[in-house]
Chains A and B, each alone.
Chain A
Amino acid sequence: MSQKITNAGRTQSNAIECLNISEKKVGLFVTCLVNTMRPSIGFASITLLEQAGCTVEVPELQSCCGQPAFNSGDDEGTRQIAYQTIKQFENFDYVVLPSGSCAAMIKKNFIEVFKDQPQWLARAKHLASITHELLSFLVDVCHFQPNGIELDGSYTYHDSCSGYRALHVYEQPRKMLSKVKGLKHKPLNSHAECCGFGGTFCVKYSDISNAIVAEKVENVLATEADYLLGGDMGCLMNIAGKLNREGHKEIKALHTAEVLAGLAPQILGGKDAS
């Protein structure tokens, strides 16, 4: 921002150059679930970040944030994955992920596994300091508001636990969604309660996870909303998968970024976003 101010008053071509300098260079970590299951969330993220004035790059050598290894207690495996991520992303101004839980992994947990490696610890800390969850980044850092997006119907919001508790993502998505024309919010009962996904938990303790998500589904259905929105693909897959298994087709699960980027009609029509 300071560059913008000092450079004010130059010729127009210079001003454009200056704007470019002030642009935020963002590295997008799409996350493995988005990469394999729902690329449209990645494209929606690029669209939104560009609309918010960022230059977006997607490093091709990215894989997973390392949560499955970390949460299983495999510290060495986590480190091996984290080395890659740190090298790929540490030179950006910002690293953004369309997932609260993967963002929290980099922001909060990388430092846990590098306690005894001071050099990597410093790099992990730097990466943590530039890493953001997408929806909170758009509002808190870019002061972005969607413009001209329409979607008829009502939505209820599932706050993913990592986003909500570890990163305090709560108001930001609701604030942006309030600018979507035609879309109404229906509050979700027990919104702060886990959906039972929990990464490896949902397969390790499939039946406990099932009992938890069944209850979440009851709460979601009780809202009678048309859309279930959230900021984490894992939770959305879990709740949507249970809704479908129980034959409830009336409520569609979408990532908030997909709605904000105006991709909802296309996705609901069954087309790829790219």
Chain B
Amino acid sequence: MQANKPEDFYQNVSKALAQPDLKKIIRRTTDKAEAKRAEAIANFPEFDNARSQGQKVKDHTIKYMEHYLAEFEKNALAQGTIVHWASTGEEASKIVLDICRQHKAKKVTRSKSMLGEEIGLTHAFDNSEMERIETDLAEHIIQLAGDPPSHIVWPAMHRSREDVVKLFREFHADPTYSEEITDLVRSARRDLRTKFLTSDIGISGSNFLLADSGSSCTVTNEGNAELTITPPKVHIVTAGIEKLVPSMAHAVPLLRLLTRSATGAEITQYITFHNGPKRPNDADGPQECHIVLVDNGRTKMLAEGMEEMLRCIRCGACMNHCVVYKHIGGHAYGSVYPGPMGSVLTPHLNSLEVANKQTHACTMNGRCEDVCPVNIPLPKLLRSLRAQSWQKKYEPLLNRFVVQSFAAMAKRPRLFQLLSSCGVIVMKVFSRKGWIKTMPFTSGWTRNRDLIEPESTTFMHQYKKMKKTKNGGA
């Protein structure tokens, strides 16, 4: 599946809505995620406290970003990790590929990291002489299918079990002929096991970077991050600078929020803190460790008053609860990051000119903010991006004209009342049996639903008449 582009949002949406089973496929995952999260939160009465604590940790670290980055670098170096800085995604990918080439790597294993997708690492490898092996089960599936991810936690959620059966039979050396989930997982396991052990370099992302120790933390369920990192000679971490927290104690409340918000679990199977290369007495571990700290628009977000978005811990709860995401799915957004968080992030990672349509694809119902584990005011941020688009005139001209005309009327109440009365008269002309099926300039509405017939005259008209009669009568 070819990756959609963010600038083609309208076409992407039409394509998604035309896909007959998409809604059902998405719901299969999001409904379960919603229910499990609700249960986990109900069993976690400290949730609101944890949430404001998590927010405070993030806000504090973002405020003193420079300090904590310097502290992290110092401690990572002390552990023997080599620290790299990348201001763009391209730069970050180049650093990673250069390290791999220095080690003459042929095979590279990678555990799931949305940052890796963000910086274009997957494509960079696919265009290189090296073989990229995705080790997360979902990433493994979409790699076989050639799909971009459609969700940040379940990147293969758009693929059905039947799809997976076909893919595994086609690509696995020793495939299963069963359609049972356990057998399918075993098939992937067999396929990946040898690759883990023969990989030259392991690449991971990071859920948290601890400034006071220089460690990076991965949160997974499959154990693939550990197998990606431990056997190869070299381990490379790619991480956004917003992953930073002061210490392990600060990461803990965020971990509690992350797992519950993402999958409804109290904890995942594996939470590992990686501390640099193998030390003399360690039984195993990489001989060389690199960490690539990526900016890619993040400091710009900080400068542009979008610092609240840097709190994001990538749990995916906002998209699981987003009524628009549930109908169009992740691919329509044309970005690694879909849904509400993606619509705020993509304009910064790409450009607002390219990704402003997504900021309007929101009903402002507030559910994403309601479930966000770190209180990101997503609707407010989306609206502020709309205000920027408005100032920069990225809006389609017709939309601009309609909104401006409406505002011009609404600021003149007498004119507004008069035009409302005219509107009622016109609507009456097109009404049949209490409903309007079609009328000029209302196709946005009447294409899909009927418009209720208005009463005989406006409220104001009836109200004035009533008052007159009352006063006259008295």
Contact = CB atoms under 8 A, between A and B. Distances in A.
B417 A63 contact: yes
B366 A161 contact: yes
Contacts of A205: 13, 324, 360-361
Interface string A47-89: 0000000000010111110101111111101101101100010
B78 to A, nearest CB: 45
A207 B363 contact: no
A213 B416 CA distance: 29
B387 A75 contact: yes
Interface in A201-253: 201-213, 215, 237-238, 240-242, 244-245
Interface in A123-174: 161-162, 165-166
B60 to A, nearest CB: 24
A236 to B, nearest CB: 9
B459 A244 contact: no
B36 interface: no
A61 B360 contact: no
A70 to B, nearest CB: 7
Nearest to B321: A193
Interface string B406-449: 11111111101100100110000000001100000001110111
A80 B449 CA distance: 32
Given A35-B420, A202-B445, A72 B459 contact: no
A197 B363 contact: yes
Residue in A30, A66, A245 whose Cβ sees the most chain B Cβ within 10 Å: A245
Nearest to B394: A73
Interface stretch (B254-262, B337-345, B463-471): B463-471
A206 B447 contact: yes
Contacts of A88: 413
Given A197-B363, A201-B364, A208-B13, A84 B411 contact: yes
B52 interface: no
Nearest to A233: B452
Given A77-B403, A205-B361, A241-B452, A63 B367 contact: no
Given A64-B416, A199-B364, A206 B464 contact: no
Contacts of A207: 13-14, 17, 448
B363 A63 contact: no
Nearest to B448: A210
A121 interface: no
A61 B410 CA distance: 10
B191 interface: no
Contact of B420 (A32, A161, A194, A273): A32
Contacts of A32: 410, 416, 420
A194 B365 contact: yes
Contacts of B424: 36
B460 A60 contact: yes
A259 B386 CA distance: 38
Nearest to A81: B410
A53 B218 CA distance: 61
B451 A237 contact: yes
Contact of A212 (B323, B423, B458, B462): B323
A61 B459 contact: no
Contacts of A78: 407
Contact of A35 (B23, B412, B443, B460): B460
A50 B364 CA distance: 33
A5 interface: no
A270 interface: yes
A162 B367 CA distance: 10
Nearest to B424: A36
Interface string B8-42: 00000110010000010000000000000000000
Interface string B319-330: 000011001100
A34 interface: yes
Given A32-B420, A64-B410, A68-B406, A198 B388 contact: no
A141 B137 CA distance: 55
Interface in A106-124: 112
Interface stretch (A8-16, A18-26, A38-46, A176-184): A38-46
Determine which residue in B399, B444, B464 has the highest number of CB atoms from chain A within 10 A of its CB, and name it: B444
A272 B385 CA distance: 42
Interface string B386-411: 11111100010001000110111111
B413 A198 contact: no
B353 to A, nearest CB: 14
Nearest to A64: B410
Contacts of B404: 74, 77
B455 interface: yes
A200 interface: yes
A270 B431 CA distance: 13
Contacts of A208: 13, 17, 324, 327-328, 361
Interface centre among A34, A74, A166, A213 (most CB of B within 10 A): A74
Given A206-B445, A212-B327, A165 B370 contact: yes
Given A73-B386, A81-B410, A162 B366 contact: yes
A211 B23 contact: yes
B444 A194 contact: no
A198 B449 contact: no
B456 interface: yes
B286 interface: no
A37 interface: yes
Contacts of B420: 32, 35-36
B267 interface: no
6 contacts: A71-B364, A112-B380, A203-B445, A212-B327, A213-B448, A241-B445
Given A36-B423, A194-B323, 11 more contacts: A36-B420, A60-B417, A60-B464, A64-B406, A198-B364, A198-B365, A211-B17, A215-B23, A237-B451, A244-B452, A274-B463
